[in-house]
Structure 1
Amino acid sequence: MLYVNFGEALLDPMAGYEIPCNMMQIFSLKLAKTPINSGSIQLYGYIAARDEVDYMLNYVFKRSRDDPIIVQEGSIIEMTGPKRGIALSCDVLLEFDMRIKNGDKETEDLQLIDGISEFNGLHMASRPLEIRIDGNCGAVDMSSALVSYAVGAVVEVAISDVQTGFDLSLSSIISLVEVHEVHKEFQLYHGTVSESRGLRRFVIAVTLDTVLGLKFKIGSKGSNSNIERNCSFEAKLNGYASHHINLEFASILVKVTWAAVPV
């Protein structure tokens, strides 16, 4: 397969024909090994997928050297994408170039991983599997699976009327119907909310006519107990739905727009 387009994938997930297809869902990225024996590192670079939709770079992770993510060995690398679903009717090419900031000059940085890996839609498992991407100065573990007959759920979360800061954890639950209704839960966001804001947009592959579950865990400052709120959305070819969560100290609006991958 020849790739000649070096641009970034389209932001609009609604473009093209709206039909379900096999999609690749990346559940998590984890820093498996580093040359640093202890402590945190500053990580930047990118991991991106190219599929047959437009062969453009669909970034799963992208950070500049001026805005690195701080992680430790064994910890989750927070993803920044993808911008749209990753079609897996044929092949997907995964490109990666991730580096460890190691000084004032870029020439002093360490190359964590660098290269490409190809995933074949005919051979990719429906059960979540973890693969290791090895590099010169460490490794990244990626958990992913094929989601059959899927559409993309574009999840937007807006937080308003914040009265006091709180910790927020958001995870998603999807059904992998080809593996005897196995339900996979994976984290989308974890952090502290101190003011009204919107979270980044999340794009999740969901099999048509199954249910996307979203789980919110909210911990108020000064309290040892967590509040849990759940909402669910039935996967459709198009349209959108919303859910409102009212708390004493904040309001959370969840909107899910259904968008089949353009083919």
Structure 2
Amino acid sequence: MRFTNENIKDPNYPRPVRTMETLQIVSVQVKEITGGLQWPLDVYGFVAVRDVMDRKCNIVFNRQREDCQSINEQDSCLKLTGPTRGVVMTVDPSYLEARLKVRGATESEDKDLSKFVKTYRLGCYLPIKHTGKLCTLELQHYTVSSSVEATIQVRVAEGQFPRGFRGVLTASTDSESGVMISLLDFNERELPVDAGGSVKLSRQVVCVKKGGKLKVSVWQHGVGEEEDQEITAASFAAMEAETSTNHMPMKICKCWMEVTVAWSLFSYW
């Protein structure tokens, strides 16, 4: 949302800003464990990307040893907290870095689960994955051409979110129909909101093709073999700047959620 409130249409605007091709990270999954490891695993460490926009780490996953994530064979995806801005792809190399550990009974018994740095660049359409001594780490992704950056904010505008609700808040785009990006898992915990009703999302940033659409949805998990059900949604047309707001009524309770999206172009400068 770097240029959301800037007057980018001013011919004297000092920075060149434009749409760019971006890498949209969907999930990071631990697969094919070996070396005597057994499920479940308590995982900590970080996964990050670096691109030509900023060589600083753009954190995708980050956990300390005392706050590790427990994963199992049925659900081995890491709970992502980023990236915190759009990941730009150019002909110049960018980098995916991972340093993950498995927690043992004591710190001296911890093991390096996955540790590597890989390069990727424009035209990288194959799966991004790394197979090490103990596991394969696979990054599910897609590329978005001529994209803008969308930063999503959600607020409980009216009523109270239902306690014990099991589901997920997702984002999707019309260019990748059926691909859901998890913004927040509910999982029966109390909704993380501040005094003003703003919801603390796990992830906020999604890249959308110029002229495309963004959809933010609330899904309720099915019971047993029942499929998940979309119970409310809000749609947005992609913009180059400014913000757009829409509402999601929760029909299962007297609750209205307000979704605001801050739009921004990209710049090398």
User: TM-score, normalization: structure 1?
Assistant: 0.81
Unmatched runs of 5 consecutive residues or more in structure 2:
5-14, 194-198
Q: Tell me, in whole angstroms, the C-alpha distance in 2 between the residues paired with 1:52 and 1:152.
A: 16
Residue 93 of structure 1 is matched in structure 2 by 95
Aligned to 2:118: 117
More moved, 240-249 vs 207-216? 240-249
Within a 5 Å distance, the mapping from 1:135-214 to structure 2 comes to 135-159=132-156, 161-176=160-175, 182-188=176-182, 189-192=184-187, 193-195=189-191, 197=193, 198=199, 199-214=201-216
Distance 1:67 1:17, change over 3 A: farther
Q: 1:45-74 deviations in whole A, cap 9, x for unaligned?
A: 111111111211001111111211111135
Q: 2: CA distance between counterparts of 1:113 and 1:14?
A: 36
Shift of 1:215: 2.2
Question: Which runs of 5 or more residues in structure 1 are unaligned?
Answer: 1-11, 177-181
- Correspondence 1:1-263 to 2 at 5 A: 13-14=2-3, 17-35=16-34, 38-75=38-75, 76-89=77-90, 90-105=92-107, 107-121=108-122, 123-125=123-125, 129-159=126-156, 161-176=160-175, 182-188=176-182, 189-192=184-187, 193-195=189-191, 197=193, 198=199, 199-218=201-220, 226=229, 228-247=231-250, 248-263=253-268
- The residue type equivalent to 1:242 in the other structure is T
Q: Which AA in structure 2 matches 1:194?
A: E
Query: Measured at CA, do residues 185 and 55 of structure 1 come closer, stay the same or move farther in structure 2, by a change above 3 Å?
Result: same
Q: 1:217 Cα shift?
A: 1.1
Q: Which amino acid in the other structure matches residue 49 of structure 1?
A: V
One-letter amino acid of the structure 1 residue matched with residue 111 of structure 2: L
Distance (whole Å) between structure 2 residues aligned to residue 136 and residue 155 of structure 1: 38
Counterpart-to-counterpart distance in 1, 2:192 and 2:44: 27
Q: Provide the C-alpha distance between the structure 2 equivalents of 1:220 and 1:22, rounded to a whole number of angstroms.
A: 36
More strand by share: 1
Q: Distance in 2 between matches of 1:250 and 1:87?
A: 37
- Counterparts of 1:71 and 1:92 in 2: how far apart (Å)? 28
| Aligned 8 A contact 2:114 2:132 in 1 | yes
State the TM-score, normalizing by the size of structure 2: 0.79
Cα gap change, 1:186/1:18 in structure 2, threshold over 3 Å: closer, same or farther? Answer: same
Runs of 4+ in 1 over 3 A off after TM superposition: 12-18, 35-39, 218-221, 224-227
Q: Root-mean-square deviation (CA), in Å?
A: 2.5
Q: Distance in 2 between matches of 1:91 and 1:74?
A: 34
Conserved 8 A contact 1:84-1:261: no
